[in-house]
Amino acid sequence: MPLMRIDVVKGHDESYLKKMLDIAYEVQIETLHTPEGDRYQILTQHEPFEMQILDTGLGIKRTNDIVVFNLATRPRATKDKKQFYSKLVERLNKDLGLRKEDVMFSLVPNNDDDWSFGNGEA
């Protein structure tokens, strides 16, 4: 049940963005072991000045193709998270030509009682 928020700089066409969402969903199922249909994705496009993603001394040069994935999710095993990061970056690079340096992740763990999918019920 991850809620996946994806932030990008405006300028990509609809097919590119849909492909990005599909790839992220496929990798989520494979590496985070979520069931089919567990798809909660919100894509937000920003003006270039609205995304200031610096490298904080890591030597990573960013471009306007930067993509930030933020997932609110159940606690996950470290090996699964690392697999998610690496497989998603590989697929985005291979299928969309996205530079590996332009993909950033943040996972925020939470529990089942932190969610209500409707009707005001946890």
Q: In three state form, how does the secondary structure of the chain look?
A: CCEEEEEEECCCCHHHHHHHHHHHHHHHHHHHCCCCCCCEEEEEEECHHHCCCCCCCCCCCCCCCCEEEEEEECCCCHHHHHHHHHHHHHHHHHHHCCCHHHEEEEEEECCHHHCCCECCEC
Catalytic site includes residue 2: yes
Of the listed 2, 35, 48, 109, which one is catalytic?
2
Residues involved in catalysis = 2
